[in-house]
Amino acid sequence: MLPACHAEAVMLATKIALVLVILIDVMGQGLAFPIFSALMLSETSSMVASGTSASTRQLLYGLVIAVFFIAWFFGSIYIARISDSVGRRRGILLCLTGALAGYALTILAIILSSFWLLVVSRVITGFTAGNQPIAQAALIDLAQDDDEKQRNLGLAVLGASLGLVSGPILGGLFSGGPFAATVQLSMVPPFVAGAAVVLATLVFVALVFHETSNTRVPLDIRPQAILSLLWAITRHPMTMRISIVYTLYMLSFVTFYIFFDTSLEERFGYSTEGQSVGMLVMGATLALTSLFLLPFFNRLASPSGLIVRGIVLEVAIVGVFATVDNVAVAFIVIALMGALHAVLLPIFFGLYSQSASAEDQGWVMGVSIALFTLASAVASLAGGLFGTEADSGPFVFASIVGVTALCAIAVVWRGHLTGQPTPAE
On whether residue 111 sits in a domain, the answer given is: yes
Buried b (16+ CB within 10 A) or exposed e, 217-233: eeeeeeeeebeebbebb
The pLDDT tens digits of the residues spanning 247-265 come to 999 999 989 988 887 788 7
pLDDT at 421: 39
Please check whether residue 418 lies inside any domain of the structure. no
The reply to whether 382 falls in a domain is: yes
In a domain, 214, yes or no: no
Asked if the structure places residue 423 within a domain, the reply is: no
Q: How far apart are CA 42 and CA 37, in angstroms?
A: 8
What pLDDT, on a 0 to 100 scale, did the predictor assign at position 231?
Answer: 78
Count of the separate structural domains present in the chain: 1
Range of the domain at 246: 2-209+223-412
Residue 57, classed as helix, strand or coil, is: helix
What pLDDT sits at residue 108? 93
* Residues sharing a CB contact under 8 Å with residue 316, sequence separation 6 or more, in sequence order: none
Angle between helices 115-127 and 54-86 (to 10 degrees): 30
pLDDT confidence of residue 390: 53
**pLDDT score recorded for residue 310:** 93
CA distance 84 to 77: 11
Q: Which parts of the chain sit beneath pLDDT 50?
A: 1-2, 418-425
pLDDT at residue 132, rounded to an integer: 76
Residue 418: per-residue pLDDT: 42
DSSP states along 64-125? HHHHHHHHHHHHHHHHHHHHHHH-HHHHHHHHHHHHHHHHHHHHHHHHHT-HHHHHHHHHHH
At 390, which CATH number? Answer: 1.20.1250.20
113: left (phi over 0), alpha (psi -120 to 50) or beta: left
Q: What integer pLDDT is reported at residue 422 of this predicted model?
A: 41
DSSP output for 265-301:
HHHH---HHHHHHHHHHHHHHHHHIIIIIHHHHHTTS
124-168 pLDDT, tens digit per residue, is 988 887 777 778 777 877 777 777 777 787 788 778 777 877 877
Instruction: Report the predicted TM-score, pTM, of the whole model to 2 decimal places.
Output: 0.74
How far is residue 301 from each of residues 118, 304, 350, measured CA to CA in Å?
45, 8, 15
Question: Does residue 146 lie in a domain region?
Answer: yes
Q: Give 3-state DSSP helix, strand, coil % of the chain, rounded to 5.
A: 85, 0, 15
Look at residue 152 and tell me if it is in a domain: yes
Q: Give domain status of residue 135, yes or no.
A: yes
Written as one letter, the residue type at 306 is L
